[in-house]
A and B are shown apart, each in its own frame.
Chain A
Amino acid sequence: MTAKQRDMIDQILRNAPFDLGGDVDVQRPLLEQMLTSQPLPADVRTTPGDLGGIPVVFIDIADVEPRGTIFHIHGGGFALGSAAGSAGLASSLARKTGMRAVSVGPPDSSRTTPPRRPPPDERPSSRPPAR
């Protein structure tokens, strides 16, 4: 990475409104906006669908006969991100492999329902009480 590239990346990240330490409900659309700010290449086709009842987004490269399928699970700790938000990354991988990609999750983060789990110290313990 050149110094110029580093500065550019640094500027992009520092100027982004997304705050990893902020409230999830507030940050989710901001991250989505970041991830989808760059339009997908014109030959990328995304089709919402479902796979065994699970919402997914099918990602195809136009005029490419896929030789296989990449099953892509986006990150985000079960609270952030979306299938469409990761379409850029998944489509890049699909293009380089000559495959189709299936990105798992709702097509956009507004349909994501993050799990409401209690903090670890509030969860009931499965261990027997100490004697």
Chain B
Amino acid sequence: MSRQQREKIDAILRQPRPEGPPPSVEELRAVILDITVGVPHVFQSFAGGPLDEADQALARAALFISQHIPAGTGQLTHDSRTVTEPAAIAGPAPATIRDRSWCPKSRNPGRSGAPAPGRPR
């Protein structure tokens, strides 16, 4: 990636998200391929250690996540009783995601299943 390309992408990422409805699924599908040359596989694991590129890559990933996930969405409790609807995060979801059969019991009162032993409440 050239410096010019990096600056252009960086400027795009740093644009503040306007207040309003959450981004659409199409928006969320937009990704940026970030290539770091000369580093080993899963080099991000070296974050906080000897590799500066690892910290930089995680910082870029964190920035991307922060700008694409509005604050206050995606709440997930430790006992997995509350899962935000995918549609609430990403607008209209494909029909397969609207199927609630995967949801924990609190969102599917008809489904059985007690909390696992020892699970924090």
Contact = CB atoms under 8 A, between A and B. Distances in A.
B76 A93 contact: no
Contacts, number: 77
A8 B40 CA distance: 12
Given A35-B45, A51-B80, A93 B62 contact: yes
A10 to B, nearest CB: 9
Interface of A: 1, 5-6, 8-9, 12-13, 35, 38, 47, 49-53, 58, 67-70, 75, 88-89, 92-93, 96-100, 102
Interface of A: prevailing SS: mixed
Interface stretch (B3-11, B25-33, B49-57, B90-98): B49-57
B69 A68 contact: yes
Interface of B: 38-40, 42-53, 58-59, 61-62, 65-66, 69, 71-76, 78-80, 102-104, 113, 116, 119-120
Interface of B: prevailing SS: loop
Contacts of B50: 5, 8-9, 12
A-B complex: 6 closest residue pairs judged by Cβ atoms = A96-B62, A69-B76, A68-B74, A67-B71, A97-B62, A8-B50
